[in-house]
Amino acid sequence: MNHEHDVRHLSDVDRRKFLQLSGLATGLVFANSILSIEPASALPSAKLPGFTAFAKSVKVFKGEKYYLVESYGIPAHQMMVGIKSWQQQVPTIQNYTGTNAWSIPIKPVIATNPISAKNHFLRGAIAIAVNGVPIFNALNNRGDDALLAGELDDWGGHCGRADDYHYHIAPTHLQTIVGKKVPIAYALDGFPIYGETEVDGKKVTGLDTFNGHFDSKKNYHYHATKSYPYINGGFKGVVTEIDGQVDPQSLTKAFRPAGEPLRGAVITGFERVGDSSFDLKYILNGSDFHVKYTASLKEVSMQFIDSTGSTRTEVYQRK
């Protein structure tokens, strides 16, 4: 089902998506010769409030209609600890770069018919945090509140079927880094998302059903809240919905079969043991288990260690 379709020209993301599709059908070189497409990194760099605090790991570029945000989807903070409902996925680096960068409209437009997230956008991201981590609907793909279901870690995130880390609630912890005067995220309709206070530190009042309101200068923005919807509860701005998610949307690709829920498991530790290596610890039936792994954009090597010390190794190639 599609919503808010407007007339689009082949600019920025539209050209990038056409290139991807044409590359599948006719070969990348042929499509490139038609459109002379350049990746996000070939565009001029841009400064967008909030992202500058993470400039070492997140890059922002400015196209004709969109800011394009490049990252690898792994935050600097700890992950996974606190999850009580786990599907055995782990955080791995994602290639949100080039033609797969995140797209934020430069000039967001208030929609004639805003769309609620209660029955829409149950797939894919609805926002991008300023540390380069995507933010999904507060409701999981079954329509349940992911936080109340025990699926999220102490930072509001978990991993999807592609072993991709993302948040489901507002990452308010980022406000301690960026401050109260700049956004902690941007919704994919282009409007900024601030923390739980106004930029002057005052209490937030008058939020609409989308968790947003207009400021004194009639500029619209969203806010984080401690209760549902936690983040933007849909889109006050114009977006396109295709197959239950915002379009354009950066893509992830699974490198192994999706995990099954591991009933009773609680993740108690997650340690970085190298630039791209991690040690996840969980407790099941009173015993300790580990998943030790190293992940790059080309290969993922995993060791599953049970309570007796027995180890199973799996190696996957990423395409």
Task: Give yes or no for a contact between 153 and 82, defined as CB atoms under 8 angstroms apart.
Answer: yes
> What average pLDDT does this structure show over 302-309?
97
Task: Give yes or no for a contact between 117 and 138, defined as CB atoms under 8 angstroms apart.
Answer: yes
Taking only the tens place, the pLDDT of each residue in 146-189 is 999 999 999 999 999 999 999 999 999 999 999 999 999 999 99
**Taking 70 as the threshold, does the pLDDT of residue 138 lie above it?**
yes
The pLDDT value given to residue 39? 67
Taking only the tens place, the pLDDT of each residue in 34-60 is 233 356 878 999 999 999 999 999 999
Taking only the tens place, the pLDDT of each residue in 186-245 is 999 999 999 999 999 999 999 999 999 999 999 999 999 999 999 999 999 999 999 999
The domain spans of the chain are 13-247, 266-317
Lowest mean pLDDT among 25-29, 49-53, 64-68, 94-98: 25-29
**Taking 90 as the threshold, does the pLDDT of residue 77 lie above it?**
yes
**Taking 60 as the threshold, does the pLDDT of residue 74 lie above it?**
yes
Going by pLDDT thresholds of 50, 70 and 90, the confidence category of residue 304 is very high
Q: Where are the beta strands (DSSP E) in the chain?
A: 59-62, 66-70, 102-105, 110-116, 125-129, 134-136, 157-159, 165-167, 185-187, 192-194, 212-214, 220-223, 234-237, 240-242, 245-247, 266-272, 277-284, 287-295, 299-305, 311-317
The pLDDT value given to residue 38? 52
Round the average pLDDT of the chain to a whole number and report it: 89
As a whole number of angstroms, the distance between CA 93 and CA 100 comes to: 14
